[in-house]
């Protein structure tokens, strides 16, 4: 399966988009409002060097970023390049451990360490492959939700070609499942991430048997 990764324009200078392209990944450069990379419109990744990670703890930006990642509707992941316990910043190891625990437990966002840019590129590709091939006992993405809004998200996510991020955008745009079902192709195309082909597929799927 072809992997498509959207990289934020600011990541161009890191060299990672070029590394991904060299590994046969379809890389699209554009501005992202959340995270640094979006994989197959389903996984949003915040990439930080070890120094940037520690600095974000000190200035308090880290948890604001965690909140935006969780609200994105995509599956969030933070990749830290290098060792956050070995930086030039004057911060205690306990503060770093506390931040890592808070991200994992309170925000439920996994934090993965990489050895460098090459390793980061490999991790992104692995993340896509693992996410596309979940264990057979998992029926869709995640656990079936109980609240109405999450049930709606779960339902829309089950439509062909619709991952967590697109389900979130569809509900944000149309407000209800009924409006999604009744939407024409041109209306569906207005949702970011849904092109002509995906809009046509979705439109036809929702009208099978008409």
List the CATH number of the domain containing 123.
Answer: 3.40.50.10130
What pLDDT digit, counting tens, does each position of 125-179 carry?
A: 998 887 665 554 444 455 444 556 767 777 788 788 888 888 888 988 998 888 8
**Structure confidence at residue 133 (pLDDT):** 58
Inform me whether the pLDDT recorded for 193 exceeds 70.
Answer: yes
Contact partners, residue 115, CB within 8 Å, separation at least 6: 81, 82
Instruction: For 42-64, write each residue's pLDDT tens digit.
Output: 899 999 999 999 999 999 999 99
Residues 6+ apart with CB under 8 A from 53: 62, 80, 84
Q: Within this chain, do residues 98 and 71 fall inside the same structural domain, yes or no?
A: yes
Based on the domain organization, do 159 and 85 belong to the same domain? no
- What range defines the domain where residue 27 resides? 4-132
Name beta bridge partners: 14.
Answer: none
156 and 65 in a common domain: no
Q: How many domains does the chain have?
A: 2
- Please identify, among 80, 108, 132, the residue that sits at the C-terminal boundary of a domain: 132
CATH code where residue 181 lies: 1.10.150.20
Q: What is the pTM of this model?
A: 0.66
Residue 199 to residues 32, 42, 43, Cα–Cα distance (Å): 22, 17, 21
4-8: strand order across its sheet: 26-30, 4-8, 37-39, 43-49, 75-81, 111-114
Indicate if the pLDDT at residue 183 is higher than 60.
yes
pLDDT score of 145: 47
Q: Is residue 142 part of a domain?
A: no
Q: Is residue 10 a part of any domain in this protein? A: yes
């Amino acid at each position: 399966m072809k992997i498509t990764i959207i990289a934020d324009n600011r990541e161009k200078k890191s060299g990672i988009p070029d590394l991904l392209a060299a590994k046969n990944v379809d890389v699209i450069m554009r501005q992202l409002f959340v995270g640094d990379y979006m994989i197959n419109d389903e996984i949003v990744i915040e990439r930080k060097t070890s120094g940037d990670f520690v600095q974000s703890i000190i200035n308090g930006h880290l948890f604001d970023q965690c909140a935006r990642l969780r609200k994105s509707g995509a599956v969030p992941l933070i990749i830290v390049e290098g060792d956050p316990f070995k930086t030039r910043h004057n911060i205690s190891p306990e503060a770093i451990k506390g931040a890592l625990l808070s991200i994992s437990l309170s925000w439920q966002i996994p934090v993965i360490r990489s050895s460098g840019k090459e390793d980061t590129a490999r991790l992104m590709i692995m993340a896509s492959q693992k996410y596309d091939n979940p264990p057979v006992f998992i029926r869709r993405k995640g656990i079936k939700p109980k609240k109405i809004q999450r049930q709606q998200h779960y339902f829309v996510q089950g439509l062909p070609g619709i991952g967590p991020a697109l389900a979130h955008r569809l509900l944000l745009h149309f407000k209800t499942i009924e409006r999604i079902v009744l939407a024409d192709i041109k209306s569906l195309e207005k949702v970011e991430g849904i092109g002509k082909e995906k809009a046509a597929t979705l439109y036809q799927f929702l009208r099978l048997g008409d």
